Amino acid sequence: RLPTVAIVGRPNVGKSTLFNRLVGKRLALVDDRPGVTRDRREGDAKLLGLEFRVMDTAGYEDEDPHTLPGRMRQQTEAAVRAADVALFLIDGREGLTPLDEEIARWLRAGQTPVIVAANKAEGNAGESGRLEAFALGLGEPIAISAEHGEGIVDLFESLRPFV
């Protein structure tokens, strides 16, 4: 069985875009509108010689994040619990939101190791968001651009101890 990486984060941070880049097939639905990833998607990823199973999750994409956890959110939380590492994406351009903080609280309380990545950080665009993300208390955030394929070496180095 391959080690498993669960990509988690609030809507629209680029989870499905990263999933597609890692898996190399259009298995996850990507859309500008939040909430379009309806299911858990999984596929085998290759990253500079690392091989792992990657899961694209959608469980924090509820219309109203303050409602009680729904079925999708339970699925996402189960995926994170079962994963060898969680890759927690934030939007490096927008910086932290209350939902990011809520997800971080949940991740800090769990047992699964977490890597924080500030996405949409092509060029230097995500640096302020990346620095802000230190406050999540989940270690040193890395900067990536799922869309442009930047930060891949840092992602590799971060994942390597866990997969």
Which spans of this chain sit near ligand GDP (rule: CB under 6 A)?
9, 11-17, 30-32, 34, 37, 119-120, 122, 145-148
Count CA atoms within 13 Å of residue 13 on its CB side.
Answer: 31
The annotation status of 132 as a binding-site residue, yes or no, is no
What residues does 52 pair with on adjacent strands?
45
User: Residue 6 has what DSSP assignment?
Assistant: E
- By CB under 5 A, residue 12 contacts Mg ion: no
**Cβ(116)–Cβ(141) below 8 Å:** yes
- By CB under 5 A, residue 16 contacts Mg ion: yes
In whole angstroms, the minimum distance from the beta carbon of 11 to ligand GDP comes to 5
Calpha distance 92→87 (Å, rounded): 14
Closest to Mg ion by CB, 35 vs 139, is 35
- By CB under 5 A, residue 20 contacts Mg ion: no
Closest to ligand GDP by CB, 143 vs 159, is 143
- Which of ligand GDP, Mg ion, none sits in contact with 122, Cβ below 5 to 8 A by type? ligand GDP
- Which of Mg ion, ligand GDP, none sits in contact with 76, Cβ below 5 to 8 A by type? none
Which amino acid makes up residue 142? I
The annotation status of 9 as a binding-site residue, yes or no, is yes
Closest to ligand GDP by CB, 34 vs 69, is 34
Q: Which of 75, 77, 54 is nearest to 5 (CA)?
A: 54
What residues does 4 pair with on adjacent strands?
53
